[in-house]
């Protein structure tokens, strides 16, 4: 009977030990990071509440905005598009990431640019003749995607998706799914080309 009690005690202690290891391994690290990479910067996950993709053709500006002020799990985010894109037109595009829970809002884009070797945007559309080209690069000459050009073709309706990958393979095949890494942001906007 005493042996049975000892076995139960050992099992309980083992369970407590495993639980405490799980809690420690999932806790945040405020003093640095534990990513296995050669980057000389610390990465802590930033809260991104707002994504703005501003497109201008020199005369007209279209802004695609996603805003989710309470983050994941609360109220659904809101997507707004300020207007239609013109057919057969070249746009200059700029992505801006904000944490609007801070006052003033924290510009997360600055961090993504500074850590360009560890980030890459992927912008795709369901409208087949929209072509997006990333025009900014990291210190190794690989694309980041904060700055881009977007060229429209014929009239159409569809969607445009922006994905920000953290620690993707660089260079990669140009697709978010083929780049590896983890997804920091993924938002989809309805778009019209008129």
Confidence class for position 20, pLDDT limits 50, 70, 90? very low
Confidence class for position 31, pLDDT limits 50, 70, 90? very low
The pLDDT value given to residue 70: 87
pLDDT beyond 80 at 53: yes
The pLDDT value given to residue 69: 93
Q: Which of 9-13, 115-119, 169-173 has the lowest mean pLDDT?
A: 9-13
CB neighbour list of residue 122: distance below 8 Å, 6 or more residues apart:
145, 161, 162, 163, 164, 165, 174, 175, 176, 179
Give alpha helix (H) positions in the chain. Answer: 2-26, 108-114, 176-179
CB neighbour list of residue 79: distance below 8 Å, 6 or more residues apart:
64, 65, 66, 187, 188, 189, 190
Confidence class for position 130, pLDDT limits 50, 70, 90? very high
Distance CA 95, CA 90 (A): 16
Alpha-carbon separation of residue 101 from 1, 28, 44, 107, 124 (angstroms): 59, 19, 17, 11, 28
| Region 114-134 average pLDDT | 98
**Nearest residue to 149 via CA among 54, 68, 22:** 54
The pLDDT value given to residue 12: 46
The pLDDT value given to residue 74: 85
pLDDT beyond 50 at 59: yes
The pLDDT value given to residue 19: 32
pTM of the predicted structure, to 2 decimals: 0.78
The pLDDT value given to residue 56: 99
Long-range contacts of 68-75 (CB under 8 A, 24+ apart): 69/100, 69/101, 71/47, 71/101
pLDDT beyond 80 at 32: no
pLDDT beyond 60 at 185: yes
**Nearest residue to 44 via CA among 35, 36, 53, 33:** 33
Q: What is the pLDDT of residues 78-99, one digit of tens each?
A: 999 999 999 999 999 999 999 9
68, burial (CB in 10 Å: exposed 0-12, middle 13-18, buried 19+) = buried
Confidence class for position 25, pLDDT limits 50, 70, 90? very low
């Amino acid at each position: 009977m005493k042996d049975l009690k000892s076995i139960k005690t050992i099992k309980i202690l083992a369970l407590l030990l495993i639980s405490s290891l799980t809690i420690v391994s999932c806790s945040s690290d405020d003093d640095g990071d534990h990513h296995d990479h050669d980057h000389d910067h610390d990465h802590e996950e930033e809260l991104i509440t707002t994504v703005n993709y501003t497109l201008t053709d020199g005369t007209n500006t279209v802004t695609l905005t996603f805003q989710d002020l309470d983050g994941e799990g609360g109220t659904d985010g809101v997507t707004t598009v300020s207007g239609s894109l013109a057919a057969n037109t070249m746009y200059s595009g700029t992505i801006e990431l904000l944490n609007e829970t801070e006052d003033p809002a924290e510009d997360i884009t600055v961090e993504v640019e500074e850590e360009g070797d560890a980030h890459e945007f992927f912008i795709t559309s369901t409208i087949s003749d929209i072509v997006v080209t990333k025009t900014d690069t990291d210190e190794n000459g690989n694309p980041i995607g904060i700055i881009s050009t977007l060229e429209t073709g014929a009239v159409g309706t569809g969607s445009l998706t922006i994905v920000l990958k953290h620690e993707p393979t660089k260079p990669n095949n140009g697709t978010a799914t083929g780049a590896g890494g983890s997804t920091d942001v993924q938002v989809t906007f309805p778009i019209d080309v008129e």
